[in-house]
Amino acid sequence: MKIWYMNGAGNDFMVMDARGMNPDLEKLAVSLCALRNADGFMAIDYSETGDFRLHFYNSDGSRGEMCGNGSRCICRFAYENGIAGESMTMQTDAGIVYGWRLDEKQYRVRLNNPGVLDLNRKPDTAYVELGCPGVPHGIRQIPGLRWEDREALRDTAKALRFDAAFPKGANINFFTWLADDRIRILTYERGVEDYTLACGTGTASAACALYAAGKLPGQRLVAENPGGTLTVDLQTEDGQITAVYLEGPTEIVEIMEVDIG
C-alpha cells in the first residue's frame, strides 16, 4: 500500500487513499505515525457531499474533527492522485472544507467558520472552535514569546490542554505580536501531546479571536510557526466572520510502500 509522508509548514502526516477499503483507521493512525513520528494520519474516502471524505486521526489514534494543515496537504494528495481538480470540496467531521491549488506547493483552504468564539473562557485565554463540532483551541498571548521558551511553557501548556474550561480538551496556542498583522505562534496539540511545528486551525483560531477582540482591523494575519509561515484571511460582514481562509506550503517528503495487513 502506498503511504505518503507529507507536511504543511512542518506539521507532518501519513496519508493514504482508503476508498473502497474498510481498514481499522484508528489502529493504522498509531502504527503509521510511529514510522516517522508524524503528528497525524489522514485517509481519503468516498463522499456523497464532496469530491472526497477526509478521515483525520491524531498520532495517538484519537479522531480529530479536521485539521487545517492536514486539509491543505490532503488537497495536494487529491490533486496529484487525480482524485480532484485544482479546486475541490472535502467532507470533514467539522463540515465542508473547500480547497485550491495555487501552485505546485502552495495550497489554500476555506476552513469552517467559528462555531464557538469565547474571548473570556478563561481570564487570559480565549476559546475558539472552527466548525460545529469544531477543533477546540485555547488562545493565550505570551508577550515576547520565543521558540526557546517552549520548555519553560510546557507545564502551562499541558495544564491548559486538560483545563476544565475546555470540555473536549484543547490545542493550546501561545502567541506574541511581531507587527500589526504578524504574530509568532507556538502550539501544543491534544492527541499529539506535544508541541508541533505548525497548526493551521490554531493559527486561524487566533486570527478569529484577534479580530473579535478588535485587534485585527485588516482582517489578514501572518503567523510565523516554528515550521513555516501561514497566512489567514478573514471575510466579515457587519462585524461577523463569514469566511476563514488558510494558505501555506505543502511538501511531499516520501512515498513509501507499507504492508498494512
Q: Please tell me what DSSP assigns to residue 214.
A: T
Give strand ranges (E) for 201-259: 220-225, 228-237, 240-249, 251-257
* β-strand partners of 225: 228
Active site annotation includes 33? no
Specify whether the CB–CB gap between 72 and 230 falls below 8 A: no
Name which of 71, 68, 69, 33 is nearest 52 in CA terms.
71
List 33, 75, 199, 208, catalytic entry: 199
Specify whether the CB–CB gap between 221 and 203 falls below 8 A: yes
| Residue 78 cell numbers, joined | 487529491
Active site annotation includes 67? yes
How far from 99 is each of 71, 115, 132, 248, CA to CA, in Å? Answer: 8, 20, 19, 12
List 67, 73, 75, 208, catalytic entry: 67
3-state DSSP helix/strand/coil percent for the chain, to nearest 5?
Answer: 20, 50, 30
* C-alpha R_g of the chain: 17
Q: Please tell me what DSSP assigns to residue 148.
A: G
Name which of 136, 179, 182 is nearest 160 in CA terms.
136
Task: Report, as residue numbers or ranges, the catalytic residues.
Answer: 67, 199
